[in-house]
Amino acid sequence: MIRLEPIRPTRVVGLGCQRGCTAQVLRELIARNLHAVGLALEDISALASIDKKADEPGLLQLAVELGLPLSFFSAEHLSVYEAQLSHRSLLAFEHSGCYGVAESAALALAAETGAAQLLITRQKCPQATFALAISLPIDR
């Protein structure tokens, strides 16, 4: 008997944040926005951000708390996704070299496993930005 499993999308959270942003602030931003579309923290498979945040304690702590891999991308790598951004922030570009860290990072990581698209566009709180991208595996 051949059993076919349904193709499950990969759901990737992209995050941008100010220095010193806590894991709690990030977690609340993610949970609030996932809840709005009927998803929970358990439904995400990975976190992503820009490499300039690779030493950010709040991001690192969040990844450990959620038990999720955390990937970082250069501004140059993220610039590939500029055309897919829902919002282009000049302030983000001045600080990071990227017009949208959360959306770009989510798309970059989701694209590693299939065709990526934004499921939740850029959402923000005073200290951070969030986006959710999905990818469906490409049939091989």
Better-scored residue on pLDDT, 123 or 91? 123
Sheet holding 46-50, edge to edge: 70-73, 46-50, 10-17, 128-136, 115-125
- In a domain, residue 87? The reply is yes
Residue 62 lies in a domain: yes
Count structural domains, the chain.
Answer: 1
Tell me which residue of 119, 46, 52, 113 sits closest to 86, measured CA to CA.
119
> Does 2 fall in a domain?
no
Q: How confident is the model at residue 4 (pLDDT cuts 50, 70, 90)?
A: low
The residue range of the domain holding 63 is 10-135
Q: Is residue 135 within 8 Å of 79, Cβ to Cβ?
A: no
Residue 4 lies in a domain: no
**pLDDT tens-place string over residues 78-121:** 999 999 999 898 888 888 889 899 999 999 999 998 889 999 99
Residue 62's domain is classified under what CATH number?
3.30.420.180
Predicted local confidence at residue 82, as pLDDT:
92
Tell me the per-residue pLDDT of 8-67, one tens digit each, with 9 for 90 and over: 669 999 999 999 999 999 999 999 999 999 999 999 999 999 999 999 999 999 999 999
Quote the Cα angle for 79-83-88, to 5°.
Answer: 75
CB 112 within 8 A of CB 88: no
